[in-house]
Chain A
Amino acid sequence: MSNPIIQPENLVYDKSAVLTDNVMHYCPGCSHGTVHRIVAEVIEEMGLQDQTIGVAPVGCAVFIYNYINVDFAESAHGRAPAIATAIKRLNPDKLVFTYQGDGDLAAIGTAETIHACNRGENIAIIFINNGIYGMTGGQMAPTTLLGMKSSTCPTGREPHLNGYPLKITDMLALTEGTCYVTRQSVHTPSSVKKTKRAIRKAFDNSLQGKGTSVVEVVSTCNSGWKMTPVEANRWMEENMFPFYPLGDLKDR
């Protein structure tokens, strides 16, 4: 099927060959689609489609294996770093990454995450932090900001009732086993480029056996936040970034 506008001579950007043709189930404005595309592009550029094993989370990204065309193991909620640990140790020449949301990584999977990082497993962890449980309909996450509303803190998160938002990425940077811990975003073209460089570095580190790399992507969930995509990006800049500042936490 030829498209009259997209012709080879005026094509400046194309879909990665590592992405499938499946229509993504993500809401318009969601950050997942962008991060999926970046991951696929990096795998393609590294020429590792046949050498990559991904570990899918429980959460909105549970169907990541419908979009990124590599082998996948689907994890129980939060257990992806344990699954990735064994995959990598038993297949040390492969590129192994997990893709996890904040509930998966920072609540139910806290132990698996911290211990995989502390052992320095040669895996890459891609961590989508949008401060809310998206798939189950907008409940409070461990990373939900104080005052931020969710269906289980409908008047806003209060520390005496709900505790404090967890900066788990800072904790992971403290573990001896991590070699690279960074916090990025994908809400502007330049931030997308930075995140892509971060994921490339994380994947390179894994293949070089340098230890665990963690790439947090501070993200929007405009459906869960009940905002338009544009409003969600602005809200993230004004509220999420002050508490979750972007940049490298560790690089060695």
Chain B
Amino acid sequence: MKNELVLLKGNEAIAHAAIRCGADGYFGYPITPQSEIMETLMELRPWDTTGMVVLQAESEVASINMVFGGAATGKKVMTSSSSPGVSLMQEGISFSCGADLPMLLVNVMRGGPGLGTIQPSQADYFQTVKGGGHGDYKLITLAPSSVQEMVDFVDLGFELSFKYLIPCMILADGVIGQMMEPVTLPPYKPRRTAEQIAAECPWAANGKPAGRYRNVVTSLELDPAKMEKKNEVRQERFRLVEATEVRYEEFLCEDADYLIVAFGSAARVCQSAVEDLRSQGIKVGLLRPITLWPFPSKVLSKYAEKVKCMMTVELNAGQMNEDVRLAVNGKVHVYHYGRMGGIVPTPEEVTEALKSHL
């Protein structure tokens, strides 16, 4: 099997990538602007080819718990939703983190709070990287800014999640989910066999052979000393992820006097703004965090020594802005330019916003 070049919506791309990366199951509930993910899966009928299970649940509460159940048996399972649906999933996400389960979650964000709007937004940044559910936990968070990255991050997300036993969230938005781009689809990877799962996931509750102690997938531990130890071990894994898995992209940062920091669809707008500002002789660079957790704090701290100021551009009221300010630790001023309610800024607006701080 070879790579295949096709024209796809971001949401459709997620579905194709899931089947091709050997996912065992998808469980979801319809919500705009990401319903094409499940629709595409139902149209492609992977249960007839790879054997992947696709099921429409009765709610997001059910779908995240179906993912919990599948993951508890060591399977590669995923769900997708948009902001209000992801709020409903927070209980299940917290339980999954408490049970150290690998899984792939996709949030194609829309504007909130509440029912909000169906237009694109990045206002679930805090919910995703600071923990929307209860307890001390983190989600490995990948922020795609192209349809190709929607494809690539499915496989990467599963890989990172199984490596560290931390759920992985693809944090996209309505722009990335709905827009069409040519993408290269990877070749089909076979689903893992029962033997491979037994070897890779010795903790999985998939039937206790004679001679093995029973596996119990749970987030519960009533002994506080044991519970603290479980948390400490988890925190050590978080530190390891922070040390090894930071991903970001730099655009014209090397000689920059000013740095724009933006992720996802906002970063695409900013790339045009940077080109425009450069043509006007203003030396601006763009740093695009790809992993929102672990956050690229070190590289931002390095640029804080070189640039005159930074500006975050987000489709929210300034959420990632707080993490950039923590990273630069007061060395430079970090301005914010954001639009809310489903409005996506134009490159001209970003250009003007930056120029107002020169």
> Chain A: interface residue count, which band?
20 to 34
Interface stretch among A46-54, A166-174, A221-229? A46-54
Decide yes or no whether B154 CB sits under 8 A from chain A: no
Say yes or no: A89 contacts B53, CB within 8 Å: yes
Of the listed stretches A30-38, A73-81, A176-184, A207-215, name the one at the interface; the rest are far from the partner chain: A73-81
Q: How far is the CA of A160 from the CA of B156 in the complex (A)?
A: 55
The winner among B53, B63, B69, B91 for most chain A CB atoms within 10 A is: B69
B-contacting 9-mer, from A6-14, A63-71, A186-194: A63-71
Please judge, given known A-B contacts A87-B73, A90-B25, A90-B73, whether A69 and B217 are in contact too, CB under 8 Å.
no
CB pair A72 B77 closer than 8 Å: no
* Other-chain contact of B62, A53, A70, A112 (Cβ < 8 Å): A112
In the complex, the answer to whether B215 meets A86 with C-beta atoms within 8 Å is no
Given A65-B216, A112-B58: A51 in contact with B69 (beta carbons within 8 A): no
0 or 1 for each of A91-124: is its CB under 8 Å from B? (1 = yes)? 1001000000000000000011001000000000
Q: Tell me if B125 counts as interface (CB < 8 A to partner A).
A: no
A55 contact set on B, CB distance < 8 A: 69
- Asked if B59 and A85 make an inter-chain contact with CB atoms under 8 angstroms apart, the answer reads no
The reply to whether B207 and A87 contact each other, CB–CB distance below 8 Å, is no
CB atoms of A74 and B216 under 8 A apart: yes
> Which of B62, B77, B214 is A79 in contact with, Cβ under 8 Å?
B62
Q: Is the CB–CB distance between B217 and A86 below 8 Å? A: no
Identify the closest chain A residue to B51 (Cβ). A90
A249 within 8 Å of B by Cβ?
no
Q: Is the C-beta of B208 less than 8 angstroms from some C-beta in chain A?
A: yes
Q: By the criterion CB–CB under 8 Å, are A115 and B218 in contact?
A: no
Query: Is A246 in contact with chain B by the CB < 8 A criterion?
Result: no
B353 CB–A CB distance under 8 Å: no
Q: Which residues of B contact A153 (CB under 8 A)?
A: none
Whether A86 pairs with B70 at a CB distance below 8 angstroms is yes
**Candidate in A71, A85, A89, A112 with the most chain B CB atoms within 10 angstroms:** A71
- Is B80 on the interface with A (CB-CB < 8 A)? no
Known contacts A72-B217, A79-B61, A90-B25; is-contact A53 B70 (Cβ 8 Å): no
- CB <8 Å contact, B95 and A76: yes
CA distance in complex: A207, B248 (Å): 49
B70 in contact with A90 (CB, 8 Å)? yes
B68 touches A83 (CB 8 A): yes
The chain A residue sitting closest to B75, CB to CB, is A90
Q: Are A86 and B208 in contact (CB under 8 A)?
A: no
Counting CB contacts under 8 A, is A60 at the interface? no
Question: 15 additional contacts, CB 8 Å, given A79-B61, A85-B62, A89-B53?
Answer: A49-B208, A51-B207, A71-B206, A73-B72, A74-B99, A75-B65, A76-B68, A82-B63, A85-B55, A86-B25, A86-B66, A89-B55, A90-B69, A90-B77, A111-B62
A residues whose Cβ falls under 8 Å from a Cβ of B: 49-53, 55-56, 62, 65, 69-76, 79, 82-87, 89-91, 94, 111-112, 115
- 3 closest A-B pairs by beta carbon, nearest first, are A74-B218, A83-B69, A86-B69
14 A-B residue pairs with Cβ-Cβ distance under 8 Å, sorted by A, are A53-B207, A65-B214, A71-B214, A73-B217, A76-B65, A79-B92, A82-B57, A82-B61, A84-B69, A85-B55, A90-B75, A90-B77, A112-B61, A115-B58
Residues on B facing A (Cβ under 8 Å): 24-25, 27, 53, 55, 57-59, 61-63, 65-70, 72-73, 75, 77, 91-92, 95, 99, 205-210, 214-220
